[in-house]
């Protein structure tokens, strides 16, 4: 199948479903698997390959203004030493996680660009080779990536909406004849935000900031999840290459295939290590913060036992965070699982018909491809399903600790 044939097939598939047809405009032929996510990151200002554009400069200005306003609540918390200010931060932890992710992404932007260029070059080269089995695997993992990320976007929009409307619902409460005006964040603003009309101006600003910070979180998570899916898919393709590495009719072609595949697999491992370097610090911060936040969510659910709307919102928030963690750790674990099955593909080839020298090369190739690949959140925590279980346990421990000390 040629590249043009691949594009026509993709167009036919997307035309069958109205939702996919609506999202078709996000596709980019230069980035087969990463197109929609790069367009979204470009919209948020994260992905900025051309800094000379006025729109890019405007997005950078919005980024710095948003970060300044958002980080002002940390200063306010330190100055006031008010426990309620800390609780406000704990309640909105997912928005705060945008800060380390955005900072680390911008610091390593050139490395992310190198990784994404490698991914797109690899996929375009595989499409040009017109290997039907390889293209089938590629189409399968691209479809999976689209389904997972689009569903993830919808889930985050629902959770984000529930978080944004929660302060307005609490404002309906009246204590001792006095109206209560609950803020979303406790940021510094140049006017009185405790009573109307300043409160409504502040809430409008806070809602805008919340959605911008949420878009930073979504864009980073989407990029990382889709990259995990890419590596898992390429490891499946590696296994396909392994089954075809031996040409029984030509020792020379078999030797060339072994060399070619070794280079491909070595490059894949090299860029997997690059991704590990890029996500290690942000994911370590995420691991620490989200473990405590999930415990706090459980406390909020238990406190809202008599308030059905409050309980539903707290549960929706807890469920959204849990699914976010599960998606990241699930597809990281998939990379590990697929890496363990690559070498078995070599023994599905016709290696037994070759001479002793070629068989030695096959054995060396098998040893090279049997390396277990994994991602780590910091220096200690491996991103696997067992770690996900450990996060749940840590969250429950944090819940019991807070419950005893409250």
Q: 279-315 pLDDT, tens per residue?
A: 999 998 888 887 777 777 777 777 766 666 667 777 7
Name the percent of the chain lying above pLDDT 90: 23
CA distances from 353 to 106, 246, 251, 405 (A): 52, 9, 10, 70
From the centroid of its chain, how far is CA 50? 23
Token duo for residue 186: 């406790």
Nearest to 88 by CA among 102, 74, 100: 74
Q: What are the domain boundaries of the chain?
A: 3-405
In this predicted structure, the answer to whether residue 15 has a pLDDT above a threshold of 50 is no
Half-sphere exposure of 364 (CA within 13 A, CB side): 11
- pTM for the model: 0.85
Element (H, E) at 382: strand 381-382
The pLDDT score that the predictor gives to residue 16 is: 47
> Cβ–Cβ contacts within 10 Å for residue 312, how many?
13
In this predicted structure, the answer to whether residue 20 has a pLDDT above a threshold of 70 is no
Q: How far apart are CA 379 and CA 374, in angstroms?
A: 12
User: Which three-class secondary structure state does DSSP give residue 376?
Assistant: strand
In terms of C-beta distances under 8 Å and separation of at least 24 residues, what long-range contacts does 360-368 make, across chains too?
361/255, 361/258, 362/245, 362/246, 362/258, 365/242, 365/245, 365/258, 365/261, 365/262, 367/343, 368/262, 368/265, 368/266
Which positions ≥6 away from 114 have C-beta within 8 Å?
274
């Amino acid at each position: 199948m040629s590249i043009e044939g691949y594009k026509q097939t993709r167009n036919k598939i997307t035309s069958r479903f109205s939702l996919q047809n609506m999202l078709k405009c996000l596709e980019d032929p230069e980035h087969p698997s990463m197109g929609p996510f790069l367009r979204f990151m470009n919209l948020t200002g994260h992905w900025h390959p051309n800094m000379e554009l006025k729109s890019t400069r405007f997005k950078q200005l919005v980024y710095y203004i948003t970060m300044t306003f958002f980080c002002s609540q940390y200063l306010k918390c330190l100055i006031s030493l008010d426990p309620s200010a800390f609780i406000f931060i704990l309640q909105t932890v997912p928005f705060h996680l945008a800060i380390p992710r955005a900072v680390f992404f911008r610091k390593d932007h050139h490395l992310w660009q190198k990784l994404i260029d490698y991914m797109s070059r690899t996929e375009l080269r595989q499409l040009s080779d017109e290997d039907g089995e390889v293209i089938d695997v590629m189409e399968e993992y691209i479809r999976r990536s689209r389904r997972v990320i689009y569903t993830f976007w919808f889930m985050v929009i629902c959770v984000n909406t529930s978080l944004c409307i929660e302060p307005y619902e609490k404002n309906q409460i009246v204590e001792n004849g006095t109206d209560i005006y609950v803020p979303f964040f406790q940021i510094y603003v140049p006017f009185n935000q405790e009573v109307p009309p300043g409160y409504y101006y502040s809430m409008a600003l806070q809602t805008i900031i919340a959605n911008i910070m949420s878009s930073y979180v979504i864009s980073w998570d989407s990029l990382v999840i889709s990259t995990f899916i890419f590596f898992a898919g390429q490891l499946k393709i590696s296994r396909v290459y392994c089954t075809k590495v031996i040409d029984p009719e030509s020792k020379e072609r078999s030797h060339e295939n072994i060399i070619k595949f070794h280079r491909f697999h070595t490059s894949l491992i090299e860029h997997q290590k690059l991704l590990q370097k890029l996500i290690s610090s942000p994911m370590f911060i995420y691991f620490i913060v989200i473990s405590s936040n999930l415990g706090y969510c459980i406390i909020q659910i238990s406190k809202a036992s008599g308030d059905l709307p409050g309980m539903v919102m707290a549960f929706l928030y807890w469920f959204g965070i849990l699914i976010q963690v599960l998606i990241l750790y699930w597809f990281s674990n998939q990379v590990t699982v697929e890496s363990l099955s690559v070498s078995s593909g070599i023994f599905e080839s016709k290696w037994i018909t070759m001479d002793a020298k070629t068989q030695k090369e096959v054995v060396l190739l098998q040893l090279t491809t049997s390396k277990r690949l994994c991602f780590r959140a910091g220096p200690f925590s491996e991103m696997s399903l067992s770690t996900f279980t450990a996060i749940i346990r840590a969250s429950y421990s944090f819940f019991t600790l807070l419950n005893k000390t409250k």
